[in-house]
């Protein structure tokens, strides 16, 4: 059977969302799938095209998703995304809108949500990282 490939792509400013991304990637691997972990600055079109599922993460900044991540989602809509699933995640400080916005944006470009997503306040603690691993595992299992 083909091993599913799950892309975890993130934007981070102070490292919290990146910590979540690393734990999500661990969860994906624990499900026997392949995790491809990329910053939004280094992700390539091939990473998107080759992925069965795409998990996108960003912190909330000024009640929004930072423009670099929004540009990434916008650029993705020109690619062939048929059949791909996805989910969103991100760290926040007080209001935490980014995950909800990412969910909507992913659905708008035709990615079917495999999970309601996960937001964690500030720096993820051990129990939060476990929730990140569980998210990665769930999405990977849904993609297989």
Ligand X SMILES: Cc1cc2nc3c(=O)[nH]c(=O)nc-3n(C[C@H](O)[C@H](O)[C@H](O)COP(=O)(O)O)c2cc1C
Q: Which two tokens stand for residue 71?
A: 């540009």
Q: From the CB of 18, what's the least distance to ligand X, in Å?
A: 6
Among 49, 50, 63, 67, binds ligand X (CB under 6 A): 63
Between 42 and 95, CB nearer to ligand X: 95
Contacts of ligand X in 2-21 (CB under 6 A): 12-17
Task: Establish how many alpha carbons lie within 13 A of residue 11's alpha carbon, considering only the half-sphere containing its beta carbon.
Answer: 20
- 94 binding ligand X? (CB under 6 A): yes
In the complex with ligand X, the residue whose CB is nearer, 32 or 93, is: 93
Q: Which of these segments, 25-33, 38-46, 53-61, 130-138, binds ligand X (CB under 6 A)?
A: 53-61
Helix (H, G, I), strand (E, B) or coil at 68: helix
CB of 101 to ligand X, least distance (A): 11
Alpha-carbon distance of 144 to 130, in angstroms, equals 21
Helix (H) or strand (E) holding 96: none
Taking the least distance from each CB to ligand X, the nearer of 4 and 12 is 12
Among 34, 96, 134, 141, binds ligand X (CB under 6 A): 96
Number of Cβ within a 10 Å radius of residue 112: 13
- Measured from the Cβ of residue 4, the count of other Cβ atoms closer than 10 Å reads 21
Q: Could you give the string, one character per residue 103-122, with x where binding to ligand X holds by CB under 6 A and - elsewhere?
A: -------------------x
Separation CA 92–CA 101 (nearest Å):
13
The torsion region of residue 103 among left (phi > 0), alpha (psi -120 to 50) and beta comes to alpha
Min dist. Cβ of residue 76 to ligand X (A): 20
């Amino acid at each position: 059977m083909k091993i599913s490939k799950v892309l975890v792509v993130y934007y981070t400013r102070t490292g919290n969302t990146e910590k979540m991304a690393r734990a999500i990637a661990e969860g994906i691997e624990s499900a026997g799938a392949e995790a491809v972990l990329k910053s939004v600055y280094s992700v390539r079109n091939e990473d998107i095209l080759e992925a069965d599922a795409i998990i996108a993460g960003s912190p909330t900044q000024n009640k929004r998703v930072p423009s670099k991540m929004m540009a990434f989602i916008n650029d993705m809509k020109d690619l062939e995304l048929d059949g791909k699933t996805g989910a969103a995640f991100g760290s926040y400080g007080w209001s935490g809108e980014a995950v909800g916005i990412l969910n909507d944006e992913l659905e708008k470009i035709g990615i079917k949500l495999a999970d309601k997503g996960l937001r964690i306040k500030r720096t993820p603690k051990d129990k939060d990282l476990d929730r990140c691993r569980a998210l990665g595992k769930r999405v990977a299992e849904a993609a297989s």
